[in-house]
Amino acid sequence: MSSVRSRSLAPSPPFGRAMTSLPIRRWAKIAAFNLGLLLAVAVAAELVFGAWLSSDPLDRIALPRDTRLTVSAKGLYPHGDTFTYRRNHWGFRGAELDPAKVDLVTLGGSTTNQMYLPEDQTWQAVLTDAFRQAGRPMVIANAGIDGQSSVGHLVALESWLAHVPGLKPKLVLAYVGLNDVHVGGNVVDQLKHSSRYKWFTQNSALFRLWQSALGALNARKARLNHESFDFASAVWTTQAAEPPESDLAPTDYARRLRLMAEKIRALGAEPIFVTQPRGDWRFRDGRGEGIVTPAGPNGVDQHRRLAAHNAAAMAVCGELRMTCLDMGSQWIFAEGDFYDVAHNTPQGAAKIGSMIFEGLKDHPLLGR
């Protein structure tokens, strides 16, 4: 009989394992390389743009300093033109100044900064001129930062104004309300984070970039971006588009305002809160009207929410015995005051400056 040679065969790997093990390892290496590269770029960005290596406390916040930009207001409002927008060495808008000579600091968001108005047409310029004409010249520092709510103002008070050499203003005026309508309560808790968390957020460039991007996104959602609005073609309504139940309660806003007042007084100044109006709300024929929007909240909804926050601000003022101006409820809408639903034209800024002057001209700290 012929013999049959047998051979033993090694067990075969499960189907597909041999075919996929090499590609998986290759993709893992590629992913690890890309992750390492991304980490290296992040570290480099932090070292270059962060404040880790700086001893200047003003470098630890997202504060534009020693900057000049060419800004065009053409098309935003009548006679809008191109001009130079400046932030000085201390981060305030405008020309260089001696911090020790500042009488009044104005805190706020884009409606305080007024990036698309020339310096001599802002409401601070109008206010300065009104006091000068009254024989009481004063120096105002504009600390407005686009997109800031009271959360940002608290950071500014603690990490910016407190570190400007010689800055001892008599008053700190906060023009507040618009941006806080869209701020949740969780940001209040962030103010209580550990010193390690604050150390990271104050030094990290990427964290500040994320905050700026988030602020821009929230502003876009709230229709607070700078863009020309055609008020002549607007449709007005007395009916809300969203139920009041969807509104954020101003409870946390009031807490932040109390903290702001505390920090302002810690600087040796007296706090002044000024409430804000919106351009998509008006009174006509004895009734309130808001601008109709394609989707989301309309002018009636926005007014209802802002009015609740303004009322909360005035309640805090009464509680803390502060001087406050309820401009939000005193504002009389006029065509040409706003170039969009939030931001004022030079005409509107002149009205704001005049109203604030009337409210502050008899303040005991400003003398006679």
pLDDT in tens, the chain (368 residues): 444 444 445 555 554 555 455 578 777 777 777 778 777 766 665 555 554 555 566 776 778 889 999 999 999 999 999 999 999 999 999 999 999 999 999 999 999 999 999 999 999 999 999 999 999 999 999 999 998 999 999 999 999 999 999 999 999 999 999 999 988 655 544 444 445 555 455 456 555 555 555 555 554 554 446 788 999 999 999 999 999 998 988 999 999 999 999 999 999 999 999 999 999 999 999 899 999 999 999 999 999 999 999 999 999 999 999 999 999 999 998 999 999 999 999 999 999 999 999 999 999 999 76
Residue 4 domain flag: no
Residue 152 domain flag: yes
Indicate if 264 and 351 belong to the same structural domain. yes
Answer with the one of 34, 52, 70 that is the final residue of a domain.
52
Indicate if 256 and 309 belong to the same structural domain. yes
Indicate if 30 and 91 belong to the same structural domain. no
Q: What does the block give as tokens for 284?
A: 């006509």
Q: Is 77 helix (H, G, I), strand (E, B) or coil?
A: coil
Indicate if 200 and 62 belong to the same structural domain. yes
Indicate if 82 and 161 belong to the same structural domain. yes
Residue 8 domain flag: no
Q: In this structure, what DSSP letter does residue 244 have?
A: G
CATH code for the domain in which residue 260 is found? 3.40.50.1110
Structural domain count, the chain? 2
Residue 6 domain flag: no
Indicate if 116 and 237 belong to the same structural domain. yes
Indicate if 69 and 135 belong to the same structural domain. yes
Indicate if 104 and 159 belong to the same structural domain. yes
Asked if 327 and 307 touch (Cβ cutoff 8 Å), the reply is: no
Start-end of H helices in the chain: 17-49, 110-113, 123-133, 150-159, 186-190, 195-203, 205-221, 251-266, 299-320, 327-330, 346-360
Asked if 211 and 183 touch (Cβ cutoff 8 Å), the reply is: no
Indicate if 354 and 296 belong to the same structural domain. yes
Domain range enclosing 319: 56-366
Indicate if 258 and 174 belong to the same structural domain. yes
Residue 359 domain flag: yes
Indicate if 161 and 301 belong to the same structural domain. yes
Calculate the alpha carbon distances from 11 to 21, 137, 197, 250 in Å. Answer: 17, 95, 56, 71
For tokens 């070292």, what's the residue? 47
Indicate if 61 and 46 belong to the same structural domain. no
